[in-house]
Structure formats: structure tokens, C-alpha cells
Chain A
């Protein structure tokens, strides 16, 4: 049932997952918030962290790549109009549901029933999508639209790959310096050992540091397994649990479960699924120790948000394919065209949904 190369990779997976969970929780790191708050109030708190995370991951993975990590660890999806549509759908779902794929996970760890409902609704979305896949999505959505071959600049540059992130970092440092916006003093202060207290650990962490940490962990994950993804393992767990209910044969008959979610029809627990679980666990531990854990009962008026948002996210993440993590985080870090296009669709979806939700009070952008 378990699939892993050795005990080392299993332990590494657990630790990396816990680390992600802790970082996400402590940084309140949610992509929805990064984009939505930027559009609504020009708040760049999380967005800065996301950008730093992406660039760090770009640097880290390109270095790992030239030091021998196999190119098959990159996820370079084929792309086309389907990515924009899928990303758009996902963007809408994530704003309405109240969190992105990773945000939902860490907040589930913090005890929010709302986000457990979002997760479950997303899983229901996967099951529905898989049922509709052979008859509708495959012939009318993917075959006509997902037509261009996948391409990742980082993967194709091979030995020259680290040049891109290094150039990006250098130019941004020069640019920020010139505008006097390089506020690293505050950040450096916060990591000085003398300034770290139990109080500051319990409080929120600077998103820039969290982004850096995520980029480093993502690089480690790239070495152990490959691309970072949340909805992928989520779909696999859904498949496994669903197969317990309706029987394995039902899933083996379905082309989506049998060939896409579980490639080559091998239904087992893989490392990314373990990462998924340890991420939630890490968020829980972090929340509990910081005094942020509380079983928060969902407000009745917001149940539609969770359910519909979750369903829409479930569909969107299968249509793109991928969620904010695999496309916006990993995809941009790999400079994969599919990642760009899906992220663009995602941004559009977030923009539209934000403007709709903030219609009474207006948005900054």
C-alpha cells in the first residue's frame, strides 16, 4: 500500500510536511489573501511572501537540478485554453470559499469547521468531476483545448537554470534599493536570536521569512519527490476513501481515477499523500502551541460559501489542472508556461470574485 523508496524519504516527507504546516499557519500564508487583499486594499503583506517563496524555490530547484536531481521531478503540464478556464474557476472558488488549497489546509488544522467543509466539498467535487470526465470533460474540454506541449524554462535551461533566479533576485534588489524600499532591517531584527522570545514565536511571523522558508522546504521536497502540490494528493486520498465505499472496481472502470489520479492504475498511498496529512498536522501543532487553535463552528449563513466554494475549487483544480500551489507556486518557480497561464486565469477569477464580494465597499484596484 505504501510507496516509498526508503525510510529516509518517509521521514523527510513527514518533517517537510510538518514544516510546511507550521510555516503556513504562523505566516497566515494564504494565496487567496495574497491576491485578494492586494486587489481590495493594496495590502502586499502576503503577496511579498509569496513572491519571495517562488523566487527562493526557483533558485533552490534550479540548483538542485544542476546537482543531479532528475528532470522528471518537474511537473510540466500541457496547456491551452483549458488552463485559463480552470484557473479562473478555481480563483472564483477560492475567494468565495474563503481560502486557497493550502490556506484551507492550514486553517483546517487551526480548527475551522468551515474549512473542513470546504475540503470535503472539494473532494465531492473531485468525485463528480471524475464521473463527468469520460463523457464530457475529456472529449469536449481537454482534447480540444489542452493542445500545446508543456514547457518549463528552468527545466529546459538545464545547467544554466540558476541564472534566471539569480538575475531576478539581483534586479529586484537593485530596483528596491533605488526606491529605498529594501526593508530588510526589520526582517533581520526579527531573526536575531536575542529578539526571539516565546511571545514573538507565538505571534505572527513575518511573511517574507515564511516565504523564504517555504521556498527552502519546497526545494527539499523537489529533491525527495518532485513538484509541490496540494490538490493532487487530496484527489488521491479522495480516490482511496471513495474506493473503500464503492469498491475498487468502480474506480478502475473510470478513466480519470485509473489513468490520471492514479497513473498506471496503482491505487496506493504515495509520499505526497503523506505530506498532505503531515501538513495539516503541522498546522494543528503550530496553532495549538500558539494559542490559535479553537474549534470554530461555522456560521449558518456561510455554509453555502464553504460548500459552493469547495465544489467550485474541486472542479477548477481538476480543470486547470492543479491549484494555486502547483501552478502559482511551483509552476512559476519552474517557469512553466502552464503554470503562468493557469495563474493568469486564477488571478482573473480572484479579481472578478473579489470585486463581486466587495461590491458594496469597493476595491483599491
Chain B
């Protein structure tokens, strides 16, 4: 090769290299401005068939069904991303079960209090888990690293559900027809908000707005800054309640009517959708794209697109589908795995093949 050819060769290779690097940089930039979606799997807990159905949240394929070795009954499952743990609360029991999230084996149990209600919630950092013990009328706070009880705070009668607010939590007291606002730093009840129905499930915007589903009579309450702002009469008892991630709409399930309602922030029911049989709970995925409605008597889950509020898929699950958690339960080579510290490993063939 002559000197000239040499230079030409070098020039061409530099250009090609620059193009490839440019493509990679460009791709990185484009990818990150457009595509912030994370990939999780939807794990549906089927309380009667005692299995968990794993569904991928892009194509909605059922990936697998895993058996859970506990008695049948209502239970709620809650995944803690920080410590890679799965909490299971068996309704009516007094223990909190801690499961391995991948194998669903029971690793340990913690005694909490009599007649636990199976709906719990993590605080914003995931370090505290809140649940209620009905017979002892208390809100229980659990340290999620040690699985030990931090404190028990007495609320009012037959507490049912918990929602997070700024520096406090709201607890629905079904029998007392009230909502207790509990200061979690001082660990005492700040005040109780009275309503004219029996509150059951509650959700919030994490700040000052609460949305309560109540029965006898069937109503939804919008509470802001501890005052009831809107109260909506419903045709039948609501159960599942969730606020969309953009905080603009409330989704409520009416199990007896096999329906789900979409309510705007003014309290107007803007849409009604048919679901499977007895839609019990609604869980929204972490990306805020889809709401998964567990149809407990229909052994299925209805998946609702939250951009246009349409049911886009109905997937068969086991019997008694109760609630859905979002995490990567499958540890295979082609999935994105959640690491113990909450980061994501792109382990798709990132394995030591190199």
C-alpha cells in the first residue's frame, strides 16, 4: 500500500468509526428521551387456586403460573423493591408472611395482631409497611428491613385500609364511619374525619387529597385537607379504588355490577366499562400505563389502558384473582432483572459469555 492508499484507508476507517460512535451516542440520547418505560411483569395472586399468574406487561402473554404453599382465603400480596421481599397478609389471620419473591416460598412469619385486614401499603421510601389489625383497632407499622413492628397506633373501630399522605397516613375505620389521620412521626392520631357511610378502601395523591370508597350507603368521598369536598352516590358498593399516576382520574370497581368506573376530579363519572366477574381490586403498573383489574369470580384479570380507558385484554388467571404486584419474578436470561438494591441489570445475555 502506498502512502496515499494508506491515508485513504485511515480516512475511511475514521469516518466509519465516527459514524458508528455517532449512531451509538445518538441512539442513547434518543432512547432516553423517548423511552423511559421500564419492563416489569404483572404478578396476579390467585387466592383460591393458590397460584400466581405472571403476565408480561407489553404483549400481555401469560408467562407462567407458580404455586404458593398457603391455605386458600383472601390475601393481599405486596412487593418491596428495596429488600426484594414479598409480604403476604392472609385476611383474618394474625401473621404477616414474608415470601421469596421469585420462588414464592414462605421464608418467615411475623406475628402482628388479631384479624389482620389484607390490604397494606408501603411508605414512599419502602422502609415502612402499614397494615391494620381489625380486632385490636390498630394501625401497625413494620420496619421492612428487619420485619419487626415499629409501633402500633390505636385508631377507631374495625380499621380497614391505609393511604399515604404527606407526613401522615389515613386509616378508614369502617364501624366508626370515620377516617383517622395518623401522624407517623409522633405516632398518634391527629384527627378523625367523620363521614356518613362506612369507609372501606382508600387511596390518595400522596399529599393532601384522599379518595374513600364507602358502603351503607354506596358512596365515594373526595376529601381534601381533611374536609369532605365531594360525595358521589353509586349504584352499588365500590371496592377497588386507584388514582391514575397523572392524578387526573379515579378508577373504582363495582364488584356486584361487574363494572369499573372512571371518575374525574370534579366527581363526574366519565366512563363505565364492563369487566369480568366480581372485579375486586385495581392495581396500576409503575409506569402508569395500565390498570389491572382482578376479577375474583371470573378467574381472570382485565387490563385497562389508562390513556384511553379501554379494556385492551382479559387474561385468564387462577381462581380468586385478588391483587396484582409489578416486579420481575422471572430470573431468566432474557428478562430484565431487579437487583437487590433496586437497580436494573440488563442481564439479557449480559452474562459472562464474554
Contacts and interface: CB of A to CB of B under 8 A. Distances in A.
A and B touch in their complex, CB below 8 angstroms: yes
Interface of A: 42, 75-78, 80-81, 84, 134, 138-139, 142-150, 226-227, 229, 231-233, 235-236, 253, 255, 259-261, 263-264, 317, 320-323, 326-327, 341, 344, 348, 364-365
A348 B17 contact: yes
B243 to A, nearest CB: 29
A157 to B, nearest CB: 18
A227 B349 CA distance: 11
Given A81-B28, A232-B352, A235-B352, A264 B346 contact: no
Contacts of A143: 343-344, 346
B286 to A, nearest CB: 16
Contacts of A323: 354
18 contacts: A77-B348, A78-B348, A80-B27, A81-B21, A84-B20, A134-B341, A138-B339, A138-B345, A143-B343, A148-B27, A229-B352, A231-B352, A255-B339, A255-B340, A259-B347, A260-B352, A261-B352, A323-B354
Interface centre among B344, B346, B348, B353 (most CB of A within 10 A): B353
Contacts of A80: 24, 27-28
A352 B71 CA distance: 65
A147 B28 contact: yes
B32 interface: yes
Contact of B340 (A253, A261, A321): A253
Given A84-B21, A147-B27, A259-B337, A134 B354 contact: no
Given A80-B24, A229-B354, A263 B32 contact: no
A260 B354 contact: no
Contacts of B353: 75, 77, 226-227, 229, 232, 321-322, 326
Contacts of B340: 253, 255
A80 B17 CA distance: 14
Contacts of B344: 138, 143
Contacts of A146: 346, 350
A226 B341 CA distance: 31
B10 A264 contact: no
B20 A255 contact: no
Contact of A150 (B339, B343, B349): B349
A144 B33 CA distance: 11
Given A255-B339, A259-B339, A259-B345, A77 B354 contact: yes
Contacts of B61: none
B331 interface: yes
Contacts, number: 109
Interface of B: 1, 6, 9-10, 17, 20-21, 24-25, 27-28, 31-32, 331, 333, 337, 339-341, 343-354
A176 to B, nearest CB: 16
Given A81-B24, A255-B340, A150 B354 contact: no
A236 B354 CA distance: 11
Contacts of B25: 81
Contacts of A321: 350, 352-354
Given A81-B28, A322-B354, A263 B333 contact: yes
Contacts of B351: 232, 260-261, 263
Contact of A145 (B20, B28, B350): B28
B352 A142 contact: no
A135 B21 CA distance: 26
Nearest to B10: A365
A102 to B, nearest CB: 13
Contacts of B28: 80-81, 144-145, 147
Contact of A263 (B9, B27, B347, B354): B347
Interface centre among A138, A233, A263 (most CB of B within 10 A): A263
Nearest to A323: B354
B346 A344 contact: no
Contacts of A226: 353
Nearest to B26: A81
B20 A344 contact: yes
A73 B45 CA distance: 35
Contacts of B9: 365
B352 A77 contact: no
Nearest to A148: B27
B343 A231 contact: no
Given A229-B353, A260-B352, A78 B346 contact: yes
A231 B354 contact: yes
A127 to B, nearest CB: 14
A146 B348 CA distance: 11
A260 B337 CA distance: 10
Contact of A139 (B343, B347, B350): B343
Contacts of B20: 84, 341, 344
A340 B354 CA distance: 14
A320 B354 contact: yes
B1 A42 contact: yes
A264 B340 CA distance: 13
A261 B345 CA distance: 12
Top 9 closest pairs, chain A to chain B, by CB:
A322-B354, A75-B353, A232-B352, A321-B354, A326-B354, A255-B339, A81-B24, A147-B31, A77-B349
B349 A78 contact: yes
A84 B10 contact: no
